Amino acid sequence: MGKDAESPHTLCPRLTLFFTLHTHSIARETQGLVQGICSRIKVVVLEGSDAILPCSLNTKESVEQELFDWMKKAPNKQEVFMYNGGNHYNNGLSGQDEHFRGRVSHFPLELQFGNASIIIRNTMVADSGNYTCDFPRLRTQAFNIRLVVGEYFSFEASEKNLSLNTHFFF
């Protein structure tokens, strides 16, 4: 590492991911960024957009036959998404919190690479909070992700030669 390069461990507390476009390719980029760096990630999105919450094994070994469980921790524990060897909430597995029903899915083609990331569609401010991705049968580190869903406000005004453009994200 060069003199000016930061260690991944120094970067960890400041790592914030801003997603404005949410596509499958972002999940792959996120996977490479997250692996081996840290287990505390902050994802910030606008209300109504889709949020990808990253979770990948460092080994990149397949999780197609594994169990992984996504929970929202506070204020109440909510079951967000569970995958168990091919069974999950979108194909008959029961137990998903009603708030997330029909809005959360995983990336099936990425499971072979150890990627257990999920996407929450049409996010709401109520989705903000702390999430965990856990592999209970594997002795791996659980991922902790903080999701912040905010509103975007834009104000533009002009008078003669004066123009004001203001943008807020809260």
pLDDT at 140 exceeding the cut of 70: no
pLDDT band at 18 (very low <50, low <70, confident <90, very high): very low
- Summarize the confidence of residues 70-83 as an average pLDDT: 92
Residue with tokens 């194909």: 91
Tens-digit pLDDT profile for residues 37-46: 345 789 999 9
Domains and CATH numbers, the chain: 16-169 (2.60.40.10)
| Helices and strands: H and E segment counts in the chain | 2, 12
Residues with Cβ within 8 Å of 37's Cβ and at least 6 positions away in sequence, in order, are 8, 11, 12, 15
**pLDDT at res. 92:** 85
Q: What is the pLDDT of residue 166?
A: 59
Query: What is the rounded distance in angstroms from the CA atom of residue 46 to the CA atom of residue 16?
Result: 14
Half-sphere exposure of 118 (CA within 13 A, CB side): 28
Mean pLDDT rounded to a whole number for the chain: 76
Region of poorest pLDDT, from 28-32, 102-106, 119-123, 157-161: 28-32
Strongest mean pLDDT among 20-24, 28-32, 47-51, 149-153: 47-51
Residue 94 pLDDT: 93
How many C-beta atoms lie closer than 10 Å to residue 129's C-beta? 16
- Write out pLDDT tens, residues 149-167: 997 655 666 666 776 665 5
pLDDT class for 170, splitting at 50, 70, 90? low
**What is residue 36's predicted lDDT score, i.e. its pLDDT?**
36
